[in-house]
Amino acid sequence: MFKQSIPKFTFRRFASHYAPTKHLKEVAYKSNPTKGKDFINNYEAKVHHSESITNLWKKLTYIVAIPAILLTAIPVGKVEMDHAKHREHTKHLSDDEWPTQYDYQNIRSKPFFWGDGDKTLFWNSDINRHVQKD
């Protein structure tokens, strides 16, 4: 009745061989000294331009960026030292003296599969505490 067609798989080899030798003479490389000199001059101009831009960014880094980082790091360091003193004080508090735990804090829908199941992966016992409600 119906003739079942069998798919034919054909494979073409694109660019898998060299061009025939009769076309090789047309494709052969021919040097052009004027284009070579133009390329070298263009390359040297780019190098000269990039040197001035590189020096500009080095100056901006040393004159602007590094002082800006230092000026912001000093007050942040002072605040962090105050926080460290406060954490040292709160580390020794009992669970009753610990600040109130609200319902939205430390929600555990299921225990973690590491440790005791209560501590997150980045748990810090000096800062974090999970006060269990009775």
Boundaries of domain holding 71 = 34-91
Q: Is 64 part of any domain?
A: yes
Q: Is 100 part of any domain?
A: no
Q: Is 6 part of any domain?
A: no
- DSSP string for 52-115: HHHHHHHHHIIIIIHHHHHHHHHHHHHHHHHHHHHHHHHHT--TTTSPPPPTTSS--SS--SST
Q: What is the pLDDT of residues 88-114, one digit of tens each?
A: 887 787 877 877 778 887 788 888 898
Q: What is the pLDDT of residues 17-40, one digit of tens each?
A: 555 555 555 556 678 899 999 999
* Count: domains in the chain: 1
Q: Is 10 part of any domain?
A: no
Q: Is 118 part of any domain?
A: no
User: How far is it between the farthest Cα atoms of the chain?
Assistant: 94
Q: Is 40 part of any domain?
A: yes
Q: Is 5 part of any domain?
A: no
Q: Is 87 part of any domain?
A: yes
| CB contact set of 87 (below 8 Å; sequence gap of 6+) | 126, 127
- Written as one letter, the residue type at 55 is N
- pLDDT value at residue 79: 96
37 or 14: which leads in pLDDT: 37
User: Which of 2-6, 114-118, 123-127 has the lowest average pLDDT?
Assistant: 2-6
Q: Does the pLDDT at position 57 exceed 80?
A: yes
Closest CA to 129 of 115, 112, 104, 100: 100
The pTM assigned to this predicted structure is 0.43
Q: Does the pLDDT at position 56 exceed 80?
A: yes
